[in-house]
């Protein structure tokens, strides 16, 4: 892939640009970014990463090998109508627009347009994203390989069936917010018990980080690891009983279900 264009200049676009440049996947001079408004933001990214702002007087959309759609889904119909007039069917389109299917783009862009759908999460900004990709009908192996390499610069990449994208969104896409909410409550209680907030925040974050690493590095599943911590009649077991008694386990399940269903509902707005 020789030239890459981002349509949209938000935090997720910046995270991917940063990863590409840092990992030297392609030179900054081959990366372009275009925004509808806020030229100051474009200039900020150009100065920070050594990339290019899209210049409509000399740059054409059909000159790029790959275009990443990094805008909100609100006006996606208008975006597709405009894109179709200015691109050709061999260009790879990567969408990081939540809840919009590859089928939608295949229907609204050119016949046999290669489309890859991507769901990163906000941890991409520190190169720790859990990112899913789903492959459209007309995608070639070279497209998949480049996309995986590019997104591995911001974390771990999973290739999944598109039918699983909503549950992935409910778990990994929304997951950071669940953990932040959990941390908020622990932090509040720690401060109520006179722990300094900086100490509380760091020890909670380290506890979650260590637990995550235990899961990733151990051959044992979370249930077994939980039992290792919860000695009979000990503090951990008492805490787990309280978590169950106050609906904690059910709340986790219902949160993921609600997020998954909302992702499906939004997707229905873009049915072909």
Binding residues for NADP(+): 7-12, 70-73
At 74, give phi and psi (nearest 5°): -50, -45
At 34, give phi and psi (nearest 5°): -135, 135
47: buried, middle or exposed (CB in 10 Å: 19+, 13-18, 0-12)?
Answer: exposed
| Cα gap 213→259, rounded to integer Å | 25
Question: Which residue is associated with the tokens 């627009």?
Answer: 97
Known binding positions: 7-12, 70-73
Tokens of 187: 């932090």
Q: At what angle do helices 175-192 and 197-217 cross, to 10 degrees?
A: 140
| Cα gap 72→76, rounded to integer Å | 8
Tokens of 263: 């992702």
| Cα gap 112→138, rounded to integer Å | 5
| Cα gap 111→88, rounded to integer Å | 10
Tokens of 223: 């249930």
Nearest to 8 by CA among 95, 90, 111, 86: 95
């Amino acid at each position: 892939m020789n030239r890459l264009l981002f349509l949209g200049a938000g935090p997720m676009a910046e995270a991917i640009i940063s990863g590409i440049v840092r990992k030297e996947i392609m030179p900054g001079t081959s990366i372009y970014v275009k925004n509808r408004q806020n030229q100051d933001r474009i200039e900020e990214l150009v100065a920070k990463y050594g990339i290019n702002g899209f210049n409509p007087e000399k740059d054409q959309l059909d000159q790029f090998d790959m275009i990443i759609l990094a805008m909100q889904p609100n006006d996606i119909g208008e975006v597709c109508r405009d894109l179709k007039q200015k691109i050709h069917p061999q260009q790879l389109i990567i969408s990081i627009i939540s809840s919009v299917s590859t089928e939608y783009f295949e229907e609204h862009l050119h016949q046999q347009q290669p489309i890859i759908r991507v769901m990163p999460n906000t941890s991409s900004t520190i190169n720790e994203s859990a990112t899913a990709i789903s492959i459209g009908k007309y995608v070639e192996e070279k497209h998949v390989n480049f996309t995986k390499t590019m997104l591995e610069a911001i974390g771990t990449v999973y290739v999944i069936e598109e039918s699983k994208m909503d549950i992935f969104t409910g778990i990994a896409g929304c997951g950071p917010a669940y953990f932040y909410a959990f941390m908020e409550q622990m932090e509040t209680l720690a401060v109520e018990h006179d722990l300094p907030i900086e100490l509380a925040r760091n020890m909670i974050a380290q506890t979650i980080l260590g637990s995550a690493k235990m899961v990733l590095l151990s051959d044992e599943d979370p249930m077994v690891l939980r039992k290792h911590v919860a000695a009979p009649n000990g503090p951990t077991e008492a805490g787990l009983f309280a978590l169950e008694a106050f609906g904690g386990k059910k709340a986790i399940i219902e949160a993921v279900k609600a997020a998954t269903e909302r992702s499906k509902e939004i997707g229905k707005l873009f049915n072909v």
